[in-house]
């Protein structure tokens, strides 16, 4: 953690070697994905939970736990909550453009998983109106306390904080139209279990949006483990009853990778 900028990296470190690794990683990722989509969903759902994750020596920003070739990052602690509300975020992430891209409508039920201070949920709130609801899910009660304070200040009543666990967002089953994770998924200590339970909360046809800093783009000045490639997201989402719908690229630093819940027999 680096005080006010927990996920920013030093731009000087990005160079040609790094770009080469990213391209090579992309090619290897594509090969893995092609192989993976043919075989992996059943492999992943039937493999014993004890072999799902590997443990290695942690890197500086990671917890040393490896899932599908990716080291999981540290959770951003509540003491860095101010970083989520930084004014530059409007320019760096364009949250209002993101919310327009999601095509929400009055009455929608949204789950903002890893809601933090509600920076995104509070902007979703007017789109879904009085008949809609945003479930703001967190594992840190301190974040939910900040969310409640900000809701009171802004007169927002259609966000409901939920204290989840590291494996379960505790959503009502088959209730959610859109589950969104902005800069969150790469922090899940139990990504497989979280996605299983998120899928349980989704309606059939409900969507999941992964909003992650683009690993493919060296100009995005965010630490390696806080970025994800599109291929890696697809690889980790598709063992679940999720079908890829589209990847939206209209934001400065992030991509928005959208899936839909499909019926299983
Ligand atoms: C980088 S912050 C992003 C907050 C918010 N989405 C935003 O964009 O402002 C990531 C948040 O995800 C939360 N988180 C991590 N793992 C979680 C889990 N399994 N369930 C719910 N929240 C989680 C952390 O506590 C942290 O507040």
Inter-residue contact 231 to 214 (CB < 8 Å): no
Tell me the residue range of the domain where 234 lies: 19-261
Indicate which CATH number applies to the domain containing 191: 3.40.50.150
Q: pLDDT (tens digit, 9 = 90+) per residue, 37-51? A: 333 444 666 777 778
Average pLDDT taken over every residue of the chain = 88
Q: Classify 71 as helix, strand or coil.
A: strand
Task: Tell me what pLDDT residue 12 has.
Answer: 31
Q: How many domains does the chain have?
A: 1
Residues near 261 by Cβ (< 8 Å), separated by ≥ 6? 199, 202, 203, 204, 205, 206, 207, 208, 241, 242
Is 180 within the bounds of a domain?
Answer: yes
Structural domain contains residue 1: no
Q: How far is the CA of 156 from the centre of ligand 1 (A)?
A: 20
The predicted structure's pLDDT at residue 35:
38
Tell me whether residue 134 is in a domain. Answer: yes
- What would the pLDDT profile of 177-231 be if each residue is shown by its tens digit? 999 999 999 999 999 999 999 999 999 999 999 999 999 999 999 999 999 999 9
Residue 7 has a pLDDT of 66
230, part of any domain: yes
Q: Would you call 27 helix, strand, or coil by DSSP?
A: helix
13 domain-assigned? no
Q: Is the CB of 120 under 6 A from ligand 1?
A: yes
Is the CB of 182 within 6 Å of ligand 1? yes
**End-to-end CA, the chain:** 44
Residue 2 lies in a domain: no
Structure tokens at 29: 């990722």
Determine whether 152 is exposed, middle or buried from the number of CB atoms within 10 Å of its CB (0-12, 13-18, 19+): exposed
- Percent of the chain past pLDDT 70, that is, above it, reads 83
Q: Which atom of ligand 1 is nearest to the CA of 181?
A: 6
Q: Does 64 map to a domain?
A: yes
Which of 2, 139, 188, when mutated, tests ligand 1's pocket best, judged by the most ligand atoms within 8 Å of its CB? 139
Phi, psi of 233 (to 5 degrees): -60, -45
What pLDDT is attached to residue 265?
A: 67
Average pLDDT estimate for 83-106: 98
Distance of CA 69 to the CA centre of its chain: 17
Nearest CA to ligand 1 atom 18: 166
Of residues 36 and 98, more confidently modeled:
98
Q: Which ligand 1 atom sits nearest the alpha carbon of residue 169?
A: 20
How many Å lie between the centroid of ligand 1 and the Cα of residue 168?
13
Q: What local confidence, expressed as pLDDT, does residue 169 receive?
A: 98
Partners of residue 8 on adjacent β-strands: 222
Name which residue sits closest to atom 19 of ligand 1, judged by CA: 166
- Answer whether residue 11 is part of any domain: no
pLDDT digit string (tens) for 129-180? 999 999 999 999 999 999 999 999 999 999 999 999 999 999 999 999 999 9
Residue nearest to atom 4 of ligand 1 (CA): 116
């Amino acid at each position: 953690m680096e005080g006010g900028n927990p996920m920013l990296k030093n731009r000087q470190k990005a160079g040609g070697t790094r770009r080469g690794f990213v391209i090579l990683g992309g090619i290897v990722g594509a090969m893995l994905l092609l192989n993976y989509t043919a075989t992996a969903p059943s492999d992943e759902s039937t493999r014993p939970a004890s072999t799902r994750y590997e443990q290695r020596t942690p890197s500086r920003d990671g917890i040393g736990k490896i899932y599908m070739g990716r080291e999981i990052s540290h959770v951003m602690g509540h003491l860095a909550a101010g970083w989520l509300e930084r004014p530059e975020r409007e320019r760096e992430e364009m949250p209002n453009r993101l919310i327009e891209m999601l095509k929400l409508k009055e009455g929608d039920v949204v789950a903002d998983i890893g809601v933090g201070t509600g920076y995104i949920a509070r902007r979703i709130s007017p789109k879904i109106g009085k008949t809609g609801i945003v479930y703001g899910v967190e594992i840190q009660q301190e974040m939910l306390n900040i969310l409640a304070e900000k809701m009171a200040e802004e007169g927002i009543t259609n966000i409901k904080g939920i204290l989840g666990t590291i494996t379960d967002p505790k959503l009502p089953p088959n209730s959610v139209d859109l589950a969104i994770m902005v800069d969150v998924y790469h922090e899940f200590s139990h990504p497989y279990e979280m996605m299983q339970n998120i899928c349980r909360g989704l309606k059939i046809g409900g969507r999941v949006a992964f909003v992650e800093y683009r690993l493919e783009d060296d100009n995005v000045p965010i630490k390696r483990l806080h970025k994800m490639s599109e291929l890696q997201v697809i690889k980790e989402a598709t063992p679940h009853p999720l079908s890829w719908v589209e990847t939206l690229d209209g934001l400065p630093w992030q991509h928005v990778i959208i899936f839909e819940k499909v019926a299983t027999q």
